[in-house]
Structure 1
Amino acid sequence: MTDKPRHSWVTIRDRIREMILNSTYGPGDKLPRDEEFAGRFGCARSTVHRAMQDLAQNGLVQRRRKGGTTVQRDPVTRATLNIPITRLEVEQKGSVYRYQLIRQSMQPPSAAILANFGLHEARPMLRVEALHLADSRPYIFEDRWICLETVPEIKDVDLTRESANEWLVRNRPYSRCDLRLYARRGTKSDSEILQSDVGNALFVMERTTWIGDAPITSLRAVAHPGYQLFTQG
């Protein structure tokens, strides 16, 4: 007597995704119910449910309560972007990392930062401006706001020795992240910090994170000319 093979939700997800990609089910088509897929694949309904959740989160199908599951008419391809520890990023490129705290202060956030966090009332936050260097050359300048109601422990961190980037990645996991990436021409202020020419194309990352509904940090990072961000889906 042989045991039936056990299917993980990842295996089921990949099989359903393959049926969508090979046009077994096309854009707008309604998919079989979870119970039907479970019977077809010989697995638990909960396994199919978990697989469908992942497909929905990645923009390939749409789930409606009492309306079933359909293939998205305009599927969205998503990539996973992990927030890097800048020190490790620099060292992995074979360069020597150095960090410089430019200033930190308690300030009421600007209207733009409040909007990033989705807040309506101002409250004092910690503003941290710092420079990451690779082989003694400017690498990334970051201007960061940290909500102390969510991250009170940051007040006890010596940010002259450890970057807010590294401490937050290691100690304050997030559940939601808004990310904006764009290029703009460098200003005089950029040129002074990054030792670049005015008008150089600079890569900018704006990132805001939350744990639940509680805001953690809002960051604008400006990278030196030629910086590249790599991610895999």
Structure 2
Amino acid sequence: MQQGRQSWKTVRDRIHEWILSGRYGPGDKLPKDAELALDLDCARSTIQRAMQDLSDSGIVERRRKGGTHVRKNPLVRATLDIPLTRLEIEQRGGQYGYQLIEKAKRPPTRAVQAAFGMTEPSEFLQIVCLHLSDGRPYTLEDRWVSIDTVPNILAVDLTRENANEWLLKNAPYTRIELKFYAVNADEETADLLAVTPGCALLAMERTTWVDDAAITTVTAITAPGYQLLSRS
């Protein structure tokens, strides 16, 4: 067999199967990458990619000079990707709609500066929009986009294309922070989401960077009945 034919995902699943079957138990040291590559008839880089994923998943622990060990207490980590709101609505059987409420270049608020850990303010584009499902409010987004990092956002017709989709396609991120909390709807939010003022709502705050450069921070306030699905 020609070395390197197996994908890193196949190799990862094979090593994970060894761990689940007890071939390598909690705390056990796994063979060196070169030995595993020979055993599984693949490239060493394939082993390294597979091991990195197992490490990111909390299944193994890799140390520079200590080798790779099966974690004694495996971590359970939820996988939360940034949702594409249109797809999320359509997968639930709804018809997607979108309304741009406001778009303006502004200095970031203190809250936005704090989200990015900024010491010096720079110009941002604030975008407020409403996502609809079957003509009814679904989520209200208040988004801030760094013009320094993503200058092309200024040329996008945000009355026709929403920033959620455009950024996912055109501004890939390397780091993300997520926060979830409850808010009470103020009068403006209540009016936009068609709820009673003071109603408790779920808020999701996402902040993304490419390396150390800020991309966007967005607070999405959801209408009652919203459900978040996470798989691990």
Structures share a fold, TM > 0.5?
A: yes
CA distance 1:210–1:35, change in 2 (3 Å) = same
| Matched residue, 1:10 | 9
1:50 matched to 2:49: yes
RMSD (CA atoms):
2.2
**CA shift at 1:185, angstroms?**
4.1
Q: How does 1:48-127 map to 2 (within 5 A)?
A: 48-127=47-126
Q: Distance in 2 between matches of 1:220 and 1:109?
A: 14
- Structure 1 residue 113, shift from structure 2 partner: 1.4
Deviations for 1:155-206, whole angstroms, at most 9, x for unmatched residues? Answer: 1122222211122122222222212233444444432221113444422211
Matched, 1:28 2:20: no
Shift of 1:121: 0.8
The equivalent residue for 1:172 is 171
Structure 2 stretches of 5 or more lacking a match?
none
1:49 partner SS:
helix
Matching residue of 1:213: 212
Q: Distance in 1 between matches of 2:86 and 2:78?
A: 23
Q: Any idea what the Cα deviations from partners look like across 1:107-156, whole Å, max 9, x if unmatched? A: 22122212222321111211111111122211100010000001111111
Bigger drift between 210-219 and 107-116 goes to 107-116
Structure 1 residues not aligned, in runs of 5+: none
Structure 1 residues 23 and 114: CA distance shift in structure 2, 3 A: farther
User: Structure 1 residues 160 and 62, CA, compared in 2 at 3 Å: closer, same or farther?
Assistant: same
Instruction: Write the distance in 2 (CA, Å) between the matches of 1:148 and 1:230.
Output: 32
Residue 135 of structure 2 corresponds to residue 141 of structure 1: no
3-state SS of the aligned residue for 1:146? strand
Structure 1 pair 51–137 and aligned structure 2 pair: CA distance change class (3 A):
same
Deviation at 1:30, TM superposition (A): 2.2
Aligned length: 231
Other structure's SS at 2:6 match: coil
Task: Give the whole-Å Cα distance in 2 for the aligned partners of 1:15 and 1:30.
Answer: 16
Q: Which amino acid in structure 2 is aligned with residue 143 of structure 1?
A: D
C-alpha change, 1:8 and 1:166, in structure 2 (3 Å) is closer
Residue identity (%): 53
Aligned to 2:128: 129
Change (3 A) 1:212 1:27: same
| Alignment TM-score, normalising by the size of structure 1 | 0.88
